[in-house]
Amino acid sequence: MTLFLFALLFFLGFFFIIKGSNLLVDTAIRLKNITRLNDVFIGATFVSVATCLPELFISAFGAIGGDHGLAVGNSFGSLIFNMALVFGIYFLAEAKKNSGAGYKTKLLFFVVVFAVVALFSSNFNISWLEGLVLMFGFGVYLAFSIKQANKTADFAETIKEKKNKGEIHKIILFFLIGQIFLVLGAWAIVYFGERISHLLAISESFLGLSLISLGTGLPELITAIACLRKKQGGIGVGNILGSSIINMTLLLGLCGAIGGLTGLGFAISREVLFFDMPLILLVCAVIATSFSKKLGRRWQGFALLGLYIIYIAWIFLQEFLYSI
């Protein structure tokens, strides 16, 4: 009976995430229409910050409690989920659109940040100082995004216009409601998923890399699907890249800083350093081929989905070997 109740509440979390994602997409479309801001910018800032909060909370609480396997697993699991699975679906759905110019800069920024994270993790630990450097990187990313957006639209002037004030209030209200739905949904999936895993005797690292990363990554997936359905692919891809950058900067940076304050540090496992990170680089290489107009996107979509299947197979194999 307990397992059934947990499973019921677990799937209720999916409902909240779907409703919250639809509200966020509708809000992003309204914001785009009244400000004339670039859709990739909106997805990479407003929407990605909102969809990233569930994994930020989970990893931060994991770092505070010393559950580094869960925190790191959630961070890198969500990252691979976004970059491989969600981007793969995006490429398959947008196969006829060959231009990657809209997100080229964001992907390059992510690769630079990822290289810094790999360097910091080379000793299997992220210190509090390195954590602060990563959080500073988030500030740089935000400032750069705002500067780029101002080239196409004056956001401050748009808000001052009387005809837009009422619409801005609605946008803020629906954004907050959508965020509440997302956080509640992600919490339900993670909390009750954790209870189910304990009943089934699943390890902490496996839990972080699979079930929890799935739960916290679902907002990005559902948001991407909603964007594609409403023909707002730019917002969707901006959300994926924005969430990935926030994951590498703000999330890992905060965990590193918390680990330093608690005196426990923030440990990075050998599996993450020698398997997850090279896999992420390979995923980035596949995505980068979309910059060429001579190459279609369908093969890239299948390649990314294939890499995600390999990743899932690997963590299941690890869990199997761990249980022997």
Q: List, for residues 217-237, the tens digit of each pLDDT value.
A: 667 777 777 777 767 666 677
Token pair for 169: 């209030």
More confident call, 72 vs 303: 303
- Rounded to whole angstroms, how far apart are CA atoms 39 and 148? 12
Which carries the bigger pLDDT value, residue 190 or residue 10? Answer: 10
User: How much is the pLDDT for 156?
Assistant: 52
Find the DSSP H helices in the chain: 2-35, 39-42, 48-64, 68-80, 87-93, 104-120, 128-149, 155-160, 162-199, 204-206, 213-229, 233-246, 252-262, 270-271, 277-288, 298-323
Q: Give the confidence band of 112 by pLDDT, cuts at 50, 70, 90.
A: very high
Is residue 7 very low, low, confident or very high in pLDDT (cuts 50, 70, 90)?
confident
Q: What is the pLDDT of residue 98?
A: 47
Query: Who has greater pLDDT, 72 or 68?
Result: 72
- Can you give the pLDDT at residue 86? 84
Lowest mean pLDDT among 4-8, 97-101, 189-193, 257-261: 97-101
**Among candidate residues 75, 50, 95, 76, the one with its CA nearest the CA of residue 239:** 50
Task: Give me the mean pLDDT over the 12-29 stretch.
Answer: 75
Its sign, for the CA torsion 101, 105, 106, 109, is: positive
CATH number for position 198: 1.20.1420.30
- Name residue, tokens 């780029």: 148
Query: What's the pLDDT at 116?
Result: 92
When comparing pLDDT for 303 and 104, which is higher? 303
**Is the pLDDT assigned to residue 99 strictly greater than 60?**
no
Range with lowest mean pLDDT among 28-42, 204-218, 292-306: 204-218
Question: Domain residues for 248?
Answer: 2-323
**What percent of the chain stands above pLDDT 70?**
66
d(CA 12, CA 291): 39
- DSSP 3-state of 267: strand
| Mean pLDDT, range 1-30, rounded to an integer | 76
Q: Tell me, what's the pLDDT at 192?
A: 78
The more confidently predicted of residues 306 and 73 is: 306
Q: Which of 8-12, 68-72, 210-214 has the highest mean pLDDT?
A: 8-12
Q: Predicted confidence band at 13 (pLDDT cuts at 50, 70, 90)? A: confident
Asked if pLDDT for residue 280 goes beyond 80, the answer is yes
Query: Can you give the pLDDT at residue 44?
Result: 67
Give mean pLDDT, residues 280-294: 79
Q: What is the mean pLDDT of the chain?
A: 75
**Residue whose entry in the numeric block shows the structure tokens 């609480």:** 61
Residues 73, 209 contacting (CB under 8 angstroms): yes
Total number of domains in the chain: 1
